[in-house]
Amino acid sequence: MEGLLLAKGKAVLRDHKTALLAAVLGPVLAIGWCLWAGGSWALALGLAVLALVPLLALDEARRAMVRAQGLASPDRRPQTLTAAIDLMAARTGAQAHRSSSLHPVTRLPTREALVAAIEAHDAEADEARLLAVLRYADFDRIAAFDQGLAHHALGGLAKRIRDATGRNHLLAQVDRDCFAIWFAGQADLDAALGELRALAYLMMQELPSPSATLSPTIEVGLATYPTDGRAMAPLLTLAFTTRTRPQQAPDGSLLLAQPASLDLARETFVIEQDLAQAIHGEQLTMLFQPLVDLDKHCVVGAEALLRWQHPTMGDISPARFIPIVEAIGLSDQFGAWVLNAACREMRRWREAGLHGLRVAVNLSACQLADPKLQEKIERTLARHHLEPQVLELELTETAAMADAGRTLRLFREIHDLGVSLALDDFGSGHSSLIYLKNLPFDKLKIDREFVTAVHERSDSQAICKALIDLARGLGLRVLAEGVECRAEVDMLARLGCTLFQGYYFSRPLTGQAFVAFAGDPTRIPALGPPVLAQLDHLEGRLSA
- Which residue, among 266, 254, 257, has the nearest Cα to 223 in the 3D structure? 266
In a domain, 540, yes or no: no
Each residue of 486-504: pLDDT tens digit? 999 999 999 999 999 999 9
Rounded to whole angstroms, the Cα distance separating 460 from 471 reads 16
Question: What is the mean pLDDT of the segment spanning 456-482?
Answer: 92
Looking at the structure, tell me whether residues 87 and 121 fall in a common domain. no
Q: Which of 176-180, 433-437, 465-469, 529-533 is predicted least confidently?
A: 529-533
For residues 186 and 233, state if they share a domain.
yes
Average pLDDT, the chain: 75
Choice between 434 and 96, residue whose per-residue pLDDT is larger: 434
Q: Decide if 516 contacts 308 (C-beta within 8 A).
A: no
Q: Is the same domain home to 371 and 386?
A: yes
User: How many domains does the structure of the chain reveal?
Assistant: 3
Q: So what's the pLDDT on residue 259?
A: 52
Residue 530 domain-assigned (yes or no): no
- The strand ranges marked E within 8-145 are 10-13, 41-45, 48-52, 63-70, 79-86, 129-136
Q: What is the mean pLDDT of residues 243-263?
A: 60
- In a shared domain, residues 9 and 82: yes
Is residue 294 in some structural domain? yes
Kindly provide the residue ranges of all beta strands, DSSP E only, lying in 71-165, ordered along the sequence.
Answer: 79-86, 129-136
Does 195 lie in the same domain as 215?
yes
Rg of the chain taking only CA atoms, in angstroms: 33
Pair 73, 17: CB distance under 8 Å: yes
Predicted confidence (pLDDT) at residue 272 exceeds the cutoff of 50: yes
The answer to the question of residue 441 being in a domain is yes
Over 50: is that where the pLDDT of 12 sits?
no
Task: Identify the burial level of 303 via C-beta atoms within 10 angstroms of its C-beta, where 0-12 means exposed, 13-18 middle and 19 or more buried.
Answer: buried
Q: Are residues 141 and 72 in the same domain?
A: no
**pLDDT at 240 (0 to 100):** 81
Regarding whether 66 and 15 lie in a shared domain, the answer is yes
Domain end marker among 67, 97, 127: 97
Q: Compute how many other C-beta atoms are within 10 angstroms of the C-beta atom of residue 238.
A: 25
* Contact indicator for 372, 405 with CB cutoff of 8 Å: no
pLDDT of residue 421: 93
Give the C-alpha separation, 281 to 311, whole Å: 10
Same domain, 122 and 231: yes
535 within domain boundaries: no
Give per-residue pLDDT as tens, 208-226.
887 788 888 888 888 888 8
- Whether residue 455 is contained in a domain is answered as no
**How far apart (Å, rounded) are the C-alpha atoms in residues 53 and 72?**
16
Q: Which residue has the higher pLDDT, 482 or 90?
A: 482
> Which of 422, 416, 432 has the alpha carbon at shortest distance from 396?
422
**Contact by Cβ (8 Å): 325, 317:** no
Looking at the structure, do residues 337 and 435 belong to the same domain, yes or no?
yes
Mean per-residue pLDDT for 351-364?
93
268, part of any domain? no
> Domain with 190 in it: what CATH number?
3.30.70.270
pLDDT of 74 reads: 46
Mean pLDDT of 367-382: 92
CB-CB neighbours of 387 under 10 Å: 11
Instruction: Return the pLDDT at 125.
Output: 63
Residues 25 and 64 both lie in one domain? yes
User: Which domain-ending residue is among 63, 97, 131?
Assistant: 97
Least confident of 120-124, 204-208, 329-333, 388-392: 120-124
Give 424: exposed, middle or buried? Use CB within 10 Å, 0-12, 13-18, 19+: buried
Residue scoring higher pLDDT (413 or 273): 413
The per-residue pLDDT for range 382-407, each reduced to its tens digit, is 999 999 999 999 987 777 666 667 77
> Helix crossing, 534-543 with 458-473: angle to 10°?
60
Under the banding of pLDDT at 50, 70 and 90, the label for residue 124 is: low
Tell me, what's the pLDDT at 395? 86
- Give the span between the Cα atoms of 347 and 349, in whole angstroms: 5
The residues facing 255 across adjacent strands are 247
Same domain membership, residue 415 and residue 320: yes
In one-letter notation, the amino acid at residue 42 is A
Element (H, E) at 491: helix 486-495
The confidence score (pLDDT) of residue 335 equals 92
- Give the integer Cα–Cα distance in Å for 162 and 150: 18
d(CA 479, CA 246): 48
Total residue count of the chain as it appears in this document: 544
Q: Residue 109 forms beta bridges with which residues?
A: 102
pLDDT digits (tens, 9 = 90+) for 70-123: 434 445 454 444 444 444 444 444 444 444 567 777 888 888 888 887 776 555
User: Nearest-5° angle of CA 78, CA 84, CA 89?
Assistant: 135
Does 514 lie in the same domain as 427?
Answer: yes
Give the percent of the chain with pLDDT over 70. 70
User: Residue 262: what pLDDT?
Assistant: 57
Among the residue ranges 21-25, 130-134, 174-178, 342-346, the one predicted with the least confidence is 21-25
Does residue 426 fall inside a structural domain?
yes
pLDDT of residue 154: 87
What's the pLDDT at 275? Answer: 87
Which of the pair, 492 or 264, is modelled with greater confidence? 492
Q: What is the pLDDT of residues 37-57, one digit of tens each?
A: 223 332 322 223 333 333 334
Read off the pLDDT of residues 135-181 as tens digits, 9 standing for 90 and up.
888 888 888 888 888 888 888 888 988 888 877 788 888 888 889 88
Q: Name which residue leads in pLDDT, 405 or 330.
A: 330
How far does CA 313 lie from the centroid of its chain? 15
Over residues 356-375, the mean pLDDT reads 90
**Helix, strand counts (H, E) of the chain:** 20, 23
State which residues form the domain around 18: 4-97
Give the 3-state DSSP-derived string for 417-441, with helices as H, strands as E and coil as C: HCCEEEEEEECCCCCCHHHHHHCCC
CATH number of 374's domain = 3.20.20.450
The pLDDT confidence band at residue 339, using thresholds 50, 70 and 90, is very high
Domain final residue pick, 82, 97, 112: 97
* Model confidence band, residue 3 (pLDDT cutoffs 50, 70, 90): very low
